[in-house]
Amino acid sequence: MDNNILIDNIMTLSDVAEYLKLAEKTVLRMVHRGEIPCVKIASQWRFSRNIIDDWLLSRMQVLPKNDLSRIIEKDSTVLPLSRLMDPSYVLPAIRSGSKEDVLRQLVQPLVSAGIETDKEQLLGKLLARETMASTAIRNGVAIPHVRNPEELSNASPLIISGICREGTDFDSTDGKKTTLFFLVYTNSVVVHVRAIARISRMLASEQVKEELISADTSSDYIHIIMKYENLL
Protein backbone atom coordinates (compact mmCIF):
# COMPACT_ATOMS: atom_id res chain seq x y z
CA MET A 1 0.00 0.00 0.00
CA ASP A 2 1.17 3.54 -0.76
CA ASN A 3 2.79 5.17 2.33
CA ASN A 4 0.58 8.24 2.01
CA ILE A 5 -2.53 6.06 2.05
CA LEU A 6 -1.19 4.21 5.09
CA ILE A 7 -0.54 7.47 6.95
CA ASP A 8 -3.97 8.83 6.04
CA ASN A 9 -5.46 5.59 7.37
CA ILE A 10 -4.18 6.26 10.93
CA MET A 11 -6.61 8.13 13.18
CA THR A 12 -6.29 9.79 16.59
CA LEU A 13 -8.86 9.66 19.37
CA SER A 14 -10.34 12.99 18.25
CA ASP A 15 -10.38 11.81 14.62
CA VAL A 16 -12.36 8.70 15.54
CA ALA A 17 -14.74 10.66 17.76
CA GLU A 18 -15.49 13.05 14.90
CA TYR A 19 -15.72 10.17 12.41
CA LEU A 20 -18.23 8.27 14.57
CA LYS A 21 -20.07 11.46 15.63
CA LEU A 22 -19.39 10.69 19.30
CA ALA A 23 -17.83 12.61 22.18
CA GLU A 24 -14.14 11.85 22.82
CA LYS A 25 -15.00 10.76 26.38
CA THR A 26 -17.47 8.22 24.98
CA VAL A 27 -14.87 6.77 22.62
CA LEU A 28 -12.30 6.65 25.43
CA ARG A 29 -14.73 4.70 27.64
CA MET A 30 -15.25 2.26 24.75
CA VAL A 31 -11.46 1.91 24.46
CA HIS A 32 -11.06 1.12 28.16
CA ARG A 33 -13.88 -1.44 27.95
CA GLY A 34 -12.23 -3.06 24.94
CA GLU A 35 -15.26 -2.31 22.74
CA ILE A 36 -13.41 -0.66 19.86
CA PRO A 37 -10.22 -1.84 18.06
CA CYS A 38 -7.16 0.32 18.71
CA VAL A 39 -3.51 0.26 19.77
CA LYS A 40 -1.55 2.37 22.26
CA ILE A 41 1.61 4.01 20.88
CA ALA A 42 3.73 6.22 23.17
CA SER A 43 0.81 6.64 25.59
CA GLN A 44 -1.50 7.72 22.77
CA TRP A 45 -4.38 5.72 21.31
CA ARG A 46 -4.28 5.18 17.56
CA PHE A 47 -6.90 3.67 15.26
CA SER A 48 -6.91 2.29 11.72
CA ARG A 49 -9.65 3.81 9.55
CA ASN A 50 -10.06 0.54 7.62
CA ILE A 51 -10.33 -1.52 10.81
CA ILE A 52 -12.78 0.97 12.31
CA ASP A 53 -14.89 0.68 9.16
CA ASP A 54 -14.78 -3.13 9.36
CA TRP A 55 -15.80 -2.93 13.03
CA LEU A 56 -18.58 -0.45 12.27
CA LEU A 57 -19.91 -2.51 9.39
CA SER A 58 -19.87 -5.68 11.48
CA ARG A 59 -22.04 -3.91 14.05
CA MET A 60 -24.37 -2.74 11.26
CA GLN A 61 -24.95 -6.35 10.19
CA VAL A 62 -27.67 -6.60 12.82
CA LEU A 63 -29.71 -3.97 10.98
CA PRO A 64 -32.31 -5.20 8.50
CA LYS A 65 -31.30 -3.97 5.07
CA ASN A 66 -34.45 -1.92 4.67
CA ASP A 67 -33.37 -0.05 7.82
CA LEU A 68 -30.00 0.55 6.16
CA SER A 69 -31.86 2.13 3.24
CA ARG A 70 -33.53 4.57 5.61
CA ILE A 71 -30.20 5.46 7.22
CA ILE A 72 -28.64 6.15 3.81
CA GLU A 73 -31.61 8.23 2.75
CA LYS A 74 -31.34 10.43 5.84
CA ASP A 75 -27.55 10.88 5.81
CA SER A 76 -25.80 11.59 2.50
CA THR A 77 -22.42 10.78 4.11
CA VAL A 78 -23.43 7.16 4.75
CA LEU A 79 -23.21 4.79 1.83
CA PRO A 80 -20.91 1.83 2.45
CA LEU A 81 -20.92 0.09 -0.94
CA SER A 82 -19.26 -2.94 0.63
CA ARG A 83 -22.21 -3.22 3.04
CA LEU A 84 -24.47 -3.69 0.02
CA MET A 85 -22.28 -6.51 -1.30
CA ASP A 86 -21.65 -10.13 -0.37
CA PRO A 87 -19.15 -12.72 -1.67
CA SER A 88 -22.06 -14.72 -3.09
CA TYR A 89 -23.03 -11.65 -5.13
CA VAL A 90 -19.61 -11.33 -6.76
CA LEU A 91 -19.34 -13.21 -10.06
CA PRO A 92 -15.64 -13.64 -10.96
CA ALA A 93 -16.18 -15.21 -14.38
CA ILE A 94 -18.86 -13.40 -16.37
CA ARG A 95 -19.02 -14.89 -19.86
CA SER A 96 -18.89 -12.45 -22.75
CA GLY A 97 -21.97 -12.23 -24.95
CA SER A 98 -24.92 -10.02 -25.72
CA LYS A 99 -26.33 -7.58 -23.19
CA GLU A 100 -29.08 -10.06 -22.39
CA ASP A 101 -26.52 -12.85 -21.86
CA VAL A 102 -24.55 -10.73 -19.40
CA LEU A 103 -27.60 -9.42 -17.55
CA ARG A 104 -28.98 -12.95 -17.15
CA GLN A 105 -25.77 -13.92 -15.37
CA LEU A 106 -25.91 -10.85 -13.11
CA VAL A 107 -29.55 -11.44 -12.17
CA GLN A 108 -29.09 -15.12 -11.33
CA PRO A 109 -27.70 -14.64 -7.77
CA LEU A 110 -30.86 -12.69 -6.86
CA VAL A 111 -33.00 -15.54 -8.16
CA SER A 112 -30.90 -18.25 -6.50
CA ALA A 113 -31.15 -16.45 -3.14
CA GLY A 114 -34.93 -16.15 -3.49
CA ILE A 115 -34.69 -12.35 -3.43
CA GLU A 116 -36.09 -11.91 -6.94
CA THR A 117 -38.97 -14.23 -7.85
CA ASP A 118 -39.56 -13.05 -11.42
CA LYS A 119 -36.28 -13.24 -13.30
CA GLU A 120 -37.78 -12.46 -16.71
CA GLN A 121 -39.60 -9.38 -15.45
CA LEU A 122 -36.44 -7.96 -13.86
CA LEU A 123 -34.44 -8.81 -16.95
CA GLY A 124 -37.01 -7.00 -19.07
CA LYS A 125 -36.74 -3.86 -16.92
CA LEU A 126 -32.94 -3.92 -17.15
CA LEU A 127 -33.01 -4.35 -20.92
CA ALA A 128 -35.61 -1.59 -21.26
CA ARG A 129 -33.24 0.76 -19.44
CA GLU A 130 -30.45 -0.21 -21.82
CA THR A 131 -32.57 0.76 -24.85
CA MET A 132 -32.71 4.33 -23.50
CA ALA A 133 -28.94 4.64 -23.10
CA SER A 134 -26.22 2.16 -22.30
CA THR A 135 -25.27 1.84 -18.63
CA ALA A 136 -21.68 1.12 -19.71
CA ILE A 137 -20.19 4.45 -18.69
CA ARG A 138 -16.51 4.40 -19.69
CA ASN A 139 -13.17 2.63 -19.29
CA GLY A 140 -14.63 -0.86 -19.02
CA VAL A 141 -17.26 -0.21 -16.33
CA ALA A 142 -21.03 -0.71 -16.50
CA ILE A 143 -23.66 -0.02 -13.83
CA PRO A 144 -26.87 -1.82 -14.94
CA HIS A 145 -30.05 -0.71 -13.19
CA VAL A 146 -33.77 -0.33 -13.75
CA ARG A 147 -35.21 3.03 -14.76
CA ASN A 148 -37.72 3.24 -11.91
CA PRO A 149 -36.36 1.70 -8.66
CA GLU A 150 -39.78 1.97 -6.99
CA GLU A 151 -41.01 -0.80 -9.28
CA LEU A 152 -38.80 -3.32 -7.46
CA SER A 153 -40.86 -4.94 -4.74
CA ASN A 154 -37.93 -6.04 -2.58
CA ALA A 155 -36.67 -3.37 -0.16
CA SER A 156 -33.16 -4.80 0.31
CA PRO A 157 -30.45 -2.62 -1.27
CA LEU A 158 -27.92 -4.87 -2.99
CA ILE A 159 -25.11 -4.68 -5.51
CA ILE A 160 -24.36 -7.65 -7.75
CA SER A 161 -20.87 -7.36 -9.18
CA GLY A 162 -19.27 -9.28 -12.03
CA ILE A 163 -15.90 -9.52 -13.75
CA CYS A 164 -15.58 -10.33 -17.46
CA ARG A 165 -11.82 -10.59 -17.75
CA GLU A 166 -11.71 -10.80 -21.54
CA GLY A 167 -14.15 -7.93 -21.85
CA THR A 168 -17.47 -7.85 -23.67
CA ASP A 169 -19.28 -5.37 -25.89
CA PHE A 170 -21.82 -3.56 -23.72
CA ASP A 171 -22.25 -0.53 -25.97
CA SER A 172 -19.92 1.63 -23.91
CA THR A 173 -19.90 5.37 -24.52
CA ASP A 174 -16.17 5.24 -25.30
CA GLY A 175 -16.39 2.16 -27.52
CA LYS A 176 -14.25 0.04 -25.19
CA LYS A 177 -15.12 -3.46 -24.00
CA THR A 178 -16.64 -3.74 -20.53
CA THR A 179 -14.89 -5.80 -17.86
CA LEU A 180 -16.54 -4.74 -14.57
CA PHE A 181 -20.27 -4.77 -13.84
CA PHE A 182 -22.17 -3.38 -10.84
CA LEU A 183 -25.89 -4.15 -10.89
CA VAL A 184 -27.64 -1.79 -8.45
CA TYR A 185 -30.75 -3.40 -6.96
CA THR A 186 -32.89 -1.30 -4.63
CA ASN A 187 -36.36 0.20 -4.58
CA SER A 188 -35.08 3.38 -2.90
CA VAL A 189 -34.52 6.19 -5.40
CA VAL A 190 -32.08 7.91 -3.02
CA VAL A 191 -29.94 4.80 -2.48
CA HIS A 192 -30.16 4.06 -6.22
CA VAL A 193 -28.80 7.48 -7.23
CA ARG A 194 -26.13 7.64 -4.52
CA ALA A 195 -24.86 4.13 -5.25
CA ILE A 196 -24.49 4.85 -8.97
CA ALA A 197 -22.69 8.13 -8.26
CA ARG A 198 -20.34 6.53 -5.72
CA ILE A 199 -19.49 3.59 -7.98
CA SER A 200 -18.78 6.01 -10.84
CA ARG A 201 -16.39 8.05 -8.70
CA MET A 202 -14.57 5.03 -7.30
CA LEU A 203 -14.16 3.29 -10.65
CA ALA A 204 -12.74 6.40 -12.29
CA SER A 205 -9.44 5.17 -10.83
CA GLU A 206 -7.42 2.80 -13.03
CA GLN A 207 -5.73 1.39 -9.94
CA VAL A 208 -9.06 0.39 -8.39
CA LYS A 209 -10.19 -1.29 -11.60
CA GLU A 210 -6.92 -3.18 -12.01
CA GLU A 211 -7.03 -4.46 -8.43
CA LEU A 212 -10.66 -5.55 -8.72
CA ILE A 213 -10.03 -7.42 -11.98
CA SER A 214 -7.02 -9.14 -10.38
CA ALA A 215 -8.81 -10.10 -7.14
CA ASP A 216 -8.15 -13.76 -6.26
CA THR A 217 -11.41 -14.35 -4.38
CA SER A 218 -14.82 -12.73 -3.97
CA SER A 219 -13.89 -11.77 -0.40
CA ASP A 220 -10.72 -10.08 -1.66
CA TYR A 221 -12.85 -8.21 -4.19
CA ILE A 222 -15.07 -6.77 -1.45
CA HIS A 223 -12.07 -5.87 0.71
CA ILE A 224 -10.69 -3.85 -2.20
CA ILE A 225 -14.00 -2.00 -2.40
CA MET A 226 -13.82 -1.36 1.35
CA LYS A 227 -10.26 -0.07 1.07
CA TYR A 228 -10.98 2.47 -1.62
CA GLU A 229 -14.48 3.58 -0.63
CA ASN A 230 -12.88 4.96 2.55
CA LEU A 231 -10.77 7.30 0.41
CA LEU A 232 -13.70 8.91 -1.42
At 34 the pLDDT is 84
SS3 for 209-231, per residue? HHHHHCCCCHHHHHHHHHHHHCC
Residue 125 lies in a domain: yes
At 51 the pLDDT is 76
State mean pLDDT over 11-35. Answer: 88
Average pLDDT along the chain: 83
108-114's contacts with Cβ under 8 Å and 24+ in sequence apart are 109/160, 110/158, 110/160, 110/185, 113/88
Domain at 220, CATH number? 3.40.930.10
Residue 145: exposed, middle, or buried by beta-carbon count in 10 A (0-12, 13-18, 19+)? buried
Check whether 180 has a pLDDT greater than 70. yes
What residue numbers bound the domain in which 12 lies?
A: 3-62
Residue 67 lies in a domain: no
Interhelix angle for 13-20 vs 49-60, to 10°? 30
State mean pLDDT over 201-209. Answer: 90
Domain boundary among 31, 62, 93: 62
Residues 6+ apart with CB under 8 A from 45: 12, 13, 28, 31, 38, 39
Q: Are residues 36 and 118 in the same domain?
A: no
Domain at 7, CATH number? 1.10.1660
Check whether 115 has a pLDDT greater than 60. yes
Cα–Cα distance between 85 and 203 in angstroms, integer? Answer: 16
CA end-to-end span of the chain? 16
Number of domains comprising the chain:
2
